[in-house]
Amino acid sequence: MAAADCFAVVRVNSPISASLGIDRQRERQLLKLLQSTGVVPQTYFSADEVLVSQYIAGRAMLDDASETDHTMQLLSAALQRVQAVNIDGMACRRYLEYCREYIGQLSEAALLRMPTAAMEAAAAAIDAGDWQSVICHHDLVPENIIINDRGVFILDWEYAAIGHPGLDSLRLFSFGYDRCLDEAAKTGSLFQLQQAMDQLWLAVQQ
C-alpha cells in the first residue's frame, strides 16, 4: 500500500491470537510507547483484526553468525533504547502462568512428548528471580530485524510484554549469535525457559 511517498504494510491478524498468547491491546499499548525510540515502524492504524504500519525498506538480518560486529552493536543499542522506555505501573509477565496457558491447550499425546515439569520449573525459577523488568519483544528472530543505512529496526511486536531483560538476547543467540553465550548460560533457567516457550508455541499450532 502506498500514498505519495508513504508506504505501509497491512497485517491481517491471526483469528487464534489468544490461543497463541497474543494480546492485541497490549501490543497496541507497547507500540505506542516505543514510537519515540526510532527502532520500530510507525503505527498508522491498529485494531484486533488488523495492523497498518510503516514499511521499512532494507534487508533482514542473517540467521547465522556472519553479521558484522557493527551490526550487532547497532542491535544492542536498539535493545537498550527499547529497554530504557518507562514502564511504570505496567504488570510484568508471569512466565509460569504463560507456559501453563500453552500446556493447557495440548492433547494428552502431545503432553507425553513434552518435559512439562522441567519447563514449569524453569519458568518458576525465572519468576522468582531478582531482575528488573523491561519491554521484551519475545520473538526476536532474524526475520523480525531489518537493517538499512539508517540503522536497525525491529518488527512484529505481537508477543511483546513486560518481561525479563535477557530473553531477547538469548533469542538471537539461539540463531547462531552465541559468541558471548557460555555453556553455563546454555543450561540456565533463562535459556531453558526460552526453549520451552518455543516448543510450546509450535506444539499448540500442530
pTM: 0.90
State how far Cα 36 lies from the chain centre. 19
Residue-level pLDDT at 65: 67
Between 93-97, 131-135, 162-166, 202-206, the lowest mean confidence (pLDDT) is in 202-206
| Residues 86-118 as b or e (16 or more Cβ within 10 Å = b) | eeeeeebbebbebbbebbeebeeeeeeebebee
**Buried b vs exposed e over 142-180: b needs ≥16 C-beta within 10 Å?**
bebbbbeeeebbbbbbbbbbebbbbbbbbbbbbbebeee
pLDDT, tens digit, 9 for 90 and up, residues 104-125:
999 999 999 999 999 999 999 9
Q: What is the pLDDT of residues 5-63, one digit of tens each?
A: 578 999 999 999 999 999 999 999 999 999 999 999 999 999 999 999 999 999 998 87
Q: Is the pLDDT of residue 67 over 90?
A: no
Domains of the chain listed by start with CATH number: 58-205 (3.90.1200.10)
Partner residues linked to 72 by β-bridges: none
